[in-house]
């Protein structure tokens, strides 16, 4: 369910401003999106796993708050990010 170190490094390299930029909003949103994708697949096979469901809902809420933050600060960057991630919002 969690993402591997290699996959996280790929995401940071793709969305970060520098190779070690793990704190920027875009990178955080991309990492959370990857985790949401993994948990969604898990929930398809384990529908009664309520603990994972709660974690998934918390991640979705956290991503939503970060997306609202970036939308307020940089609308063009927000639109480019949701397009790159394939988020419908």
Residue 25 and residue 44 in contact, taking contact as beta carbons nearer than 8 Å:
no
Q: Report whether pLDDT(89) > 90.
A: no
C-alpha R_g of the chain: 14
Terminal-to-terminal C-alpha distance of the chain:
24
Determine the pLDDT at residue 1. 61
Q: Where are the domains of the chain?
A: 5-85
| pLDDT tens digits along 1-29 | 689 999 999 999 999 999 889 999 999 99
Task: Look up the pTM and report it.
Answer: 0.93
Helix ranges, the chain (H)? 5-15, 25-45, 50-73, 75-85
Q: What is the pLDDT of residue 59?
A: 97
Nearest alpha-carbon partner for 15 in 3, 33, 41: 33
Q: Give the tens place of pLDDT for each residue, 24-52.
A: 999 999 999 999 999 999 999 999 999 99
Overall fold of domain 5-85:
Helix Hairpins (1.10.287)
The residues, any chain, with a CB within 8 Å of residue 14's CB and separated by 6 or more, are 30
Q: What is the pLDDT of residue 2?
A: 83
């Amino acid at each position: 369910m969690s993402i591997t170190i290699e996959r996280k490094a790929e995401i940071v390299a793709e969305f970060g401003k520098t190779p070690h930029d793990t704190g920027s909003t875009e990178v955080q949103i991309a990492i959370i999106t990857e985790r949401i994708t993994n948990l969604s697949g898990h929930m398809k096979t384990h529908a009664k796993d309520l603990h994972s469901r709660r974690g998934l809902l918390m991640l979705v809420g956290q991503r939503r708050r970060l997306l609202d933050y970036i939308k307020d600060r940089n609308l063009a960057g927000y639109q480019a990010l949701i397009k790159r991630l394939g988020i419908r919002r």
